[in-house]
């Protein structure tokens, strides 16, 4: 059941790589990363099988099993070093050289910090096109990708929490939303957000900016392109941020985190129109 969730992501990435040639390279890279994450998730599940569920009132990030995680990060970094495009490949090599002390610092800084991964943009705002990455940014990006399956395991093995209202960050771990989801409900659609770190999905208001709290309808708009009709760009004209939403009422086959990665032209469109992404994805876009 849990493996199926990872298999769905990997399968969707491979499918979309042929549908959207413009994203093929990023998607096949993602498929390999997700295969590693699936393996890590399953090792974590085996190792923690006997432990009790985390109680609903305990913040998810109170947990951190370095004993479990530290021995696994060097394999992850060599995998990324081997398969990632430059400059991330080089950044993985540099983090690998830092050794256990450096890895532990990177993990703790990310986990106990605000878990943000904000790129340092260069002039043309093309992160991938730059020749090098700012070390603190690349360490955070790498640590995020490595810790994501652990956070997801913790979220999956936690008592169900009753959440008040519709928070703009994840009610379990405080992470930012990485993508919105629209599912059919009655005659319309209901919206939810998916967490960038633990992949928890929580209900959200349809007209509300998760970045600044704007709720006036004229300030909130969405755009889509006919050739990618099931993905839309939700923009806020007050704080100029955007987040994509995947409309599952249009295609039930979509896997939101993967379809988000695959639709690079929408990111280009949004940036050209002056919007900043609320949360970059694990390809750094």
* Interface stretch with Zn ion, choices 77-85, 100-108, 211-219, 265-273 (CB under 5 A): 211-219
Query: Among 147, 195, 233, 246, which residue sits at the site for Zn ion (rule: CB under 5 A)?
Result: 195
User: DSSP letters of 76-92?
Assistant: HHHHHHHHSPTTHHHHH
- Which parts of 224-243 interact with Zn ion (CB under 5 A)? 236, 238-239
Query: Among 200, 230, 244, 277, which residue sits at the site for Zn ion (rule: CB under 5 A)?
Result: 200
Nearer to Zn ion, 10 or 172 (CB): 172
List Cβ<8 Å contacts ≥24 apart for 155-162. 155/60, 155/195, 155/198, 155/199, 155/200, 156/2, 157/48, 157/51, 157/53, 157/54, 158/53, 158/54, 158/55, 158/56, 158/60, 159/53, 159/54, 159/55, 159/56, 160/56, 161/56, 161/57, 162/56
Q: Which residue in this structure is represented by tokens 């988000």?
A: 260
175 lies in the binding site for Zn ion (CB under 5 A): yes
Taking the CA atoms of the chain, what radius of gyration do you get in angstroms?
18
277 lies in the binding site for Zn ion (CB under 5 A): no
| In the complex, minimum distance from the CB of residue 61 to Zn ion, in angstroms, rounded to a whole number | 9
212 lies in the binding site for Zn ion (CB under 5 A): yes
To 10 degrees, what angle do helices 99-112 and 66-83 make?
100
Query: Among 54, 145, 147, 173, which residue sits at the site for Zn ion (rule: CB under 5 A)?
Result: 173
Query: Of 56, 255, 64, which is closest to residue 157 (Cα–Cα)?
Result: 56
| In the complex, minimum distance from the CB of residue 221 to Zn ion, in angstroms, rounded to a whole number | 11
| In the complex, minimum distance from the CB of residue 233 to Zn ion, in angstroms, rounded to a whole number | 13
210 lies in the binding site for Zn ion (CB under 5 A): no
Instruction: Report the alpha-carbon distance of residue 233 to residue 244 in Å, rounded.
Output: 4
Nearer to Zn ion, 23 or 245 (CB): 245
Query: Among 16, 31, 54, 209, which residue sits at the site for Zn ion (rule: CB under 5 A)?
Result: 209
Strand partners, 54: 158
How many chain residues bind Zn ion (CB under 5 A)? 15
- Provide the binding-site residues for Zn ion, judged by CB under 5 A: 170, 172-173, 175, 195, 197-198, 200, 209, 211-212, 214, 236, 238-239
């Amino acid at each position: 059941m849990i493996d199926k969730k990872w298999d769905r992501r990997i399968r969707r990435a491979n499918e979309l790589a042929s549908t959207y040639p413009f994203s093929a390279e990023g998607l096949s890279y993602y498929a390999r990363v997700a295969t590693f994450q699936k393996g890590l998730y399953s090792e974590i599940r085996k190792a923690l099988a006997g432990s009790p569920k985390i109680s609903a009132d305990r913040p998810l990030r109170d947990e951190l099993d370095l004993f479990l995680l530290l021995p696994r990060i060097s394999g992850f970094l060599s995998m990324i070093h081997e398969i990632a495009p430059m400059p991330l490949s080089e950044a993985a090599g540099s983090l690998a050289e830092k050794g256990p002390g450096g890895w532990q610092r990177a993990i703790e800084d990310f986990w106990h910090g605000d878990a943000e991964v904000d790129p340092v943009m260069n002039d043309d705002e093309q992160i991938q096109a730059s020749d090098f990455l700012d070390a603190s940014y690349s360490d955070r990006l790498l640590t995020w990708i490595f810790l994501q399956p652990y956070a997801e395991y913790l979220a999956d093995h936690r008592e169900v929490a009753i959440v008040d209202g519709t928070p703009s960050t994840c009610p379990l771990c405080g992470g930012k939303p990485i993508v919105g989801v629209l599912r059919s409900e009655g005659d319309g659609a209901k919206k939810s957000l998916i967490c960038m770190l633990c992949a928890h999905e929580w209900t959200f208001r349809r007209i509300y900016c998760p970045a600044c709290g704007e709720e006036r309808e004229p300030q909130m708009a969405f755009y889509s392109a006919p050739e990618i009709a099931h993905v839309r760009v939700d923009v806020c004209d007050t704080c100029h941020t955007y987040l994509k939403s995947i409309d599952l009422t249009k295609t039930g086959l979509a896997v939101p985190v993967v379809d988000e990665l695959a639709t690079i032209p929408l990111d280009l469109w949004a940036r050209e129109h002056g919007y900043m992404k609320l949360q970059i994805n694990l390809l750094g876009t």
